[in-house]
Amino acid sequence: MTDLPARMTAIGISTPGGPEVLRPEERPVPTPGPGEILVKVAAAGVNRPDVVQRKGFYPPPPGASDIPGLEICGTVVARGPEATRFALGDRVMALVSGGGYAQYCVAHESHALAVPANLSDAEAAAVPETLFTVWHNVFERGGLKAGETLLVHGGSSGIGTMAIQLAKAFGAKVIVTAGSDDKCAACVTLGADTAVNYRTADFVAATKAATGGTGVEVILDMVGGDYIDRNYEAAAVDGRIVQIAFQGSSKATVDFRRIMLKRLHHTGSTLRSRSVADKAAIVAAAGAAVLPLLAAGRVRPVMDTSVPLADAAAAHARMESSAHIGKIVLLV
């Protein structure tokens, strides 16, 4: 244990509401429990679920910090009992179930990875939530294989930009939807084979055209609503549709006959509420497969903006404007 302060600055949610409810507060520095490390945070990623939490619709799971922030990069400054994986001073990037918007944050050691030397603090903080979400949903649940085609809704999002890169790195074709021509162009630059501006074109027709009429094997959907029925149309026989959010609606009228006729699988998951062991398994598998690609520069988080921790409200306002392409990060 190095000399640590008792108190720290963190960003609290003063009351559910707009970005302005995010305010710097003084909090006790957390103490790592069994198997946990205390990280002096250098940078924290901003994710759409943080925005939903700030609005009061995504409470932290039992036992998690009420401070927002699901991913961090920083230096290990203390270890709890039985935490042996990292040494003091190691640079790590970690998935956390809350508490990232702070000077210090506790992470389970099995949810952390060593940071490749070529990544900046901001880049490393942008990796965990997107990498583990994409790895689990596209590859483990969706079973994407080389030669198949992945359709990613929200291709220019933090999640989408990681999904494009990973799918291409593992030999798949990628079709994305995004809400502007600029966003579509950014996705193509990143490696997407086809980008559909969903405001001006029908993604089902575009998907069929891009796949010779057969449809796509895997769909990563964060929209829901009327996309659900249209995803069933856009999917290939034996297609897998993986739901990670409902930015449109979680309710829909759907013609389910396609599930039988095309033998579709529709699944989904949410990372934050998973058990320590489940997350550890995802982190280990994603780390083994993707850390070499990150270290070689073949996969690199797409960075939109980095702002100081005290400007968390501005970071949320930018995310809600949907003007961003890639990741928004807080520098601590």
Ligand X SMILES: NC(=O)c1ccc[n+]([C@@H]2O[C@H](COP(=O)([O-])OP(=O)(O)OC[C@H]3O[C@@H](n4cnc5c(N)ncnc54)[C@H](OP(=O)(O)O)[C@@H]3O)[C@@H](O)[C@H]2O)c1
The answer to whether 255 and 230 have CB atoms below 8 angstroms apart is no
Tell me which of 72, 319, 329, 330 binds ligand X, using CB under 6 A: 319
> Counting contacts by CB under 6 A, is residue 318 touching ligand X?
no
Measured from the CB atom, the residue of 32 and 128 that comes closer to ligand X is 128
> ∠213-219-221 over CA atoms, to 5°?
135
Question: Per residue, what are the HEC states of 268-298?
Answer: ECCCCCCCHHHHHHHHHHHHHHHHHHHHCCC
Output Rg (C-alpha) for the chain, integer angstroms. 20
- Cβ 183 to ligand X, closest distance in Å? 5
- Cβ 50 to ligand X, closest distance in Å? 8
- Cβ 223 to ligand X, closest distance in Å? 4
Which single residue is written with the structure tokens 């297609």?
239
The answer to whether 38 and 76 have CB atoms below 8 angstroms apart is yes
Dist. CA 213–CA 206, nearest whole Å: 10
> Counting contacts by CB under 6 A, is residue 49 touching ligand X?
yes
Tell me which of 36, 121, 129, 311 binds ligand X, using CB under 6 A: 129
Measured from the CB atom, the residue of 285 and 295 that comes closer to ligand X is 285
- Assign 327 to helix, strand or coil: strand
Measured from the CB atom, the residue of 48 and 54 that comes closer to ligand X is 48
Dist. CA 288–CA 97, nearest whole Å: 22
> ∠151-155-159 over CA atoms, to 5°?
100
String marking each residue 14-43 x if it binds ligand X according to CB under 6 A = ------------------------------
- Cβ 177 to ligand X, closest distance in Å? 4
> Counting contacts by CB under 6 A, is residue 303 touching ligand X?
no
Tell me which of 60, 143, 179, 191 binds ligand X, using CB under 6 A: 179
Q: Which of residues 255-274 bind ligand X (CB under 6 A)?
A: 269-271
- Cβ 153 to ligand X, closest distance in Å? 4
> Counting contacts by CB under 6 A, is residue 175 touching ligand X?
no
The answer to whether 183 and 156 have CB atoms below 8 angstroms apart is yes
String marking each residue 131-170 x if it binds ligand X according to CB under 6 A = --x-------------------xx-xxxx-----------
> Counting contacts by CB under 6 A, is residue 222 touching ligand X?
yes
- Cβ 36 to ligand X, closest distance in Å? 21
Among 16-24, 176-184, 206-214, 255-263, which window interacts with ligand X (CB under 6 A)?
176-184
The answer to whether 237 and 263 have CB atoms below 8 angstroms apart is yes
**How many distinct helices (H) and strands (E) make up the chain?**
10, 15
Eight-state DSSP code of residue 224:
B
- Cβ 25 to ligand X, closest distance in Å? 24
Residue 125: count of CB within 10 angstroms of its CB: 32
Dmax over Cα atoms in the chain, in whole Å? 64
Dist. CA 104–CA 315, nearest whole Å: 19
Measured from the CB atom, the residue of 164 and 236 that comes closer to ligand X is 164
Among 22-30, 110-118, 175-183, 284-292, which window interacts with ligand X (CB under 6 A)?
175-183
Dist. CA 121–CA 124, nearest whole Å: 5
Number of residues this chain uses to bind ligand X (CB under 6 A): 27
The answer to whether 135 and 281 have CB atoms below 8 angstroms apart is no
Task: Give the interface with ligand X as residue ranges (CB under 6 A).
Answer: 47-49, 129, 133, 153-154, 156-159, 177-179, 183, 198, 222-223, 244-245, 247-248, 269-271, 319, 322
